Amino acid sequence: MSHGCFLMGKHVQLREFLERTFSEAGGRLSFENFMAAALYDPEFGYYTTNISDVGGSRADFSTWATLADLGRPVARWIQEEITCHDWADQRVSLIEIGGGDGSLAHSVLKSLGWRNRRKLDYHIVDISPPLREQQADRLKGRKIHWHESIDSALDQAGGKAILFSNELVDAFPVRWLQWNGTDWFEIFVNYSPETGLKEEFLPCRDNAPTWPSPPPGQRIEVHDSYLRWLDSWLPELQQGSLLTIDYGGISVEEIYGGHCAGTMRGYFRQQRIDKGGIYQRFGTQDLTCDVDFSKLVEHGEAHKIETVRLENQLNFLHRYEASSIPSTEAAERFYVLHQRKR
């Protein structure tokens, strides 16, 4: 089959997939379900099938883990937590969630050094088969336990672990809401082969944002799916620590000040894609948005997880003596949440 015929075949399959998916859903999908399909459908999703790399010229986007030294500060944080839990004399499970191209694992393990590595079990949880392959390639020679879901990693760790993620939360599907001046509306997406993907607005029925007076037209993204995912496994964590690194802010004012259209965006071949562009290239571009860390703190505390510290990445990098500190402006857009359960 020629390359052209192959692409045409893929195009037809995608059109049929969209027709089937939208018709089974009654004609429209909530934005959250649309984003879930675009990123995670087992046959057409970006992370599940089409992503080729993270960082580098073949990739659609880069992350701190692929651009800068995140491994050394994370390794120092891990050692501090091992001491804090009084686990120095026992085997300790590290669980990295969303391993990307394996850069963070590579640099954390290197920074921990041979003596510490002997007493550690390193688990990577990743939903993406192409990225798990990349990780295996980069981490050849290292003893790593791979998992498709957090439940299996936590089970192997016996409910006690040190968990960390970089730029994971921003990859979870979000509800997308718009304020019309008096009420919140939830964004849905409909599809027809003639008009493509189009937005629809329905009254927001539950969990409306508590933002007192947003400007009319303001859009806001809500990471309810990440909180539900936490609900599914946090009760199984008997003891441990969590480090969550991502871009975003600690209040709606900080995240959305000057961003009336919200922060939803795509990344394709290292280009940022805004506005209607997010509905193009279904399954072949990344979709992401800023994270509201105040919600993660609140949710953790509801699960009896102590908030040890929430700080911007610059402070974190200084605290744990990163070997290179990136530009102040960029690092201040990232936050690091350190939580603990005893």
Ligand X SMILES: C[S@@+](CC[C@H](N)C(=O)[O-])C[C@H]1O[C@@H](n2cnc3c(N)ncnc32)[C@H](O)[C@@H]1O
DSSP, collapsed to helix, strand or coil, labels residue 309 as strand
Give me the least distance between CB of 1 and ligand X, in Å please: 29
CB of 75 to ligand X, least distance (A): 15
Q: For ligand X, which is the closer residue by CB, 68 or 189? A: 68
Separation CA 70–CA 103 (nearest Å): 9
- Residue 99 is a binding residue for ligand X (CB under 6 A): yes
From the list 221, 224, 225, 230, the residue with the least C-alpha distance to 289 is 221
What residues numbered 100-129 form the site for ligand X, per CB under 6 A? 100, 103-104, 125-128
Residues 309-338 that bind ligand X (CB under 6 A): none
The residue type at 247: Y
Minimum CB separation of residue 78 from ligand X in Å reads: 15
Contact segment (CB under 6 A) with ligand X among 83-91, 167-175, 180-188, 302-310 equals 167-175
Phi and psi at 160, nearest 5°, equal -120, 120
Residue 213: strand, helix, or coil: coil
Task: Please tell me the distance from the alpha carbon of residue 281 to that of residue 301, in angstroms, as a whole number.
Answer: 39
* Spatial CA neighbour of 59 closest among 331, 284, 333: 284
Binder among 168, 174, 220, 237 for ligand X (CB under 6 A): 168
Closest approach, Cβ 65 to ligand X, in A, equals: 3
What single DSSP character describes residue 157? T
Judged by CB under 6 A, the residue of 30, 50, 63, 244 near ligand X is 63
Q: Name which of residues 243 to 302 contact ligand X (CB under 6 A).
A: none
| Whole-number Å distance between alpha carbons of 124 and 283 | 24
Residues that bind ligand X (CB under 6 A): 47, 54, 63, 65-66, 97-100, 103-104, 125-128, 131, 166-168, 171
